[in-house]
Amino acid sequence: GSAAAADQVHLVRTRAELVDALGGDNATNRTNATPKVIVVDGVIDGFEAADGGLLGSADLADPDAAQAAYLAAYDPAVWGMVPPTGPLEAARVRSVANQTKQTQINVGPNTTIVGLRGATLTGLTLMIDTANNVILRNLTFDDARDCFPAWSPTDGATGNWNSQYDQVSVRRSEHVWVDHNTFTDGDNPDSAQPVYFGRPYQVHDGSLDITHTASLVTASYNRFVGRDKLMLIGSSNTVGPDVGRLKVTLHHNMFDRVLQRLPRVRFGQVDVYNNWYRLSGEGFEYAVGVGVQSAAYVENNHFTLGAGIAAEDLLYDWGGTAVTTRGNWVRADGDRARPVDLVAAYNATHDPDLGTDAGWTPALRHGQVLPAPLVPLVVGALAGANRLPL
């Protein structure tokens, strides 16, 4: 947006104004490459209708969709552990299409979106697809909920509910900077959702997913608070176009009481340094997921761990072979902070072992790399929305 002409600097306060600033038509805005700066003032709700009122799930549901009937029809005790098919599933899919038109906001190339103090984007997804040169700064992303989650009986041993919408999705794009934002589920946390078929009814997906050959993405000084799935880098184990792509840097972010994908990596060279992980909660799964052909370089991060979480829990093998970890410190519950070799800690309690060399060394870092003991002081003070002088 740095080359934006005067008539392409917009102050927006509603969903309609945001769509208009992005080009005028949400269906085609992803191709609008005109340089533009969009300043967000206040709260913009993705469920806002043209008349300014807020839509609910019933407004977006297909006429043939009915949750009670869906739950009765596809209960594994009745349907079995096979994917749903038939009229009720087709109606759910049509309902998802209705919601996508409403709450997925498409961003085109050469776009800067920056928030004034208190700026919040709630109930929506910013979709950055085939859109190079995009900046997102000083925004709070809140509750990008899915009204119509899918039941996936073959996902895991007992099946799972899966949702459609990330808070920010970066696909097939380069040169994207996500800086000083806060990602949260607000007053609609996953922990408050019901349980159906013995599994949590998952209405949220990722905070910031980077997939489908995206590359040269930086996430810095963001605060991720109280969420489950955070960051998926590479969306499939299939060897293909992602090879040689997915080059991502994560630095000076705060991962606060979050549960998994911090990040989960496939294929990409991902530089993870000077982040503060403040991890707790019964649902914690792992921090860094080492996926197929991944090359994560994890350096000088600080891990503050609550009860029941140990250093050997911080890595997870999703089919990868190696990860470089250097200079990381861990403060386990009731203990003092100390340097820990994360791979050694993992290998001591897991088989097969992970290798210690991801095969590359980052060369494009900006500024000084802090010693891990200083990371909580700096990241705690500076990460998140409303920390910039705006």
Q: Could you list the active site residues?
A: 261
Sort residue 298 into left (φ over 0), alpha (ψ -120 to 50) or beta. beta
Judge whether 54 and 47 are in contact, CB under 8 Å: yes
| CA 63/CA 59 separation, integer angstroms | 9
Judge whether 92 and 61 are in contact, CB under 8 Å: no
Closest to 290 measured CA to CA, from 261, 252, 310: 261
Extract the tokens encoding 64. Answer: 């043939």
At 254, which helix (H) or strand (E)? strand 254-256
Residues 6+ apart with CB under 8 A from 324: 296, 297, 298, 299, 356, 357, 358
Judge whether 105 and 174 are in contact, CB under 8 Å: no
Beta bridge partners of 114: 39, 137
Nearest 5°: phi and psi at 183? -120, 125
Beta pairing class for 195-196 and 199-200 = antiparallel
Judge whether 116 and 158 are in contact, CB under 8 Å: no
Q: What is the DSSP letter of 375?
A: H
At 380, which helix (H) or strand (E)? helix 375-382
Beta pairing class for 264-265 and 232-233 = parallel
Q: How far is CA 183 from CA 166, 253, 302, in A?
A: 11, 11, 20
| CA 273/CA 265 separation, integer angstroms | 15
Judge whether 58 and 36 are in contact, CB under 8 Å: no
Report the number of secondary-structure helices (H) and strands (E) in the chain: 7, 32
Beta pairing class for 338-339 and 315-318 = unpaired
Extract the tokens encoding 304. Answer: 């503050």
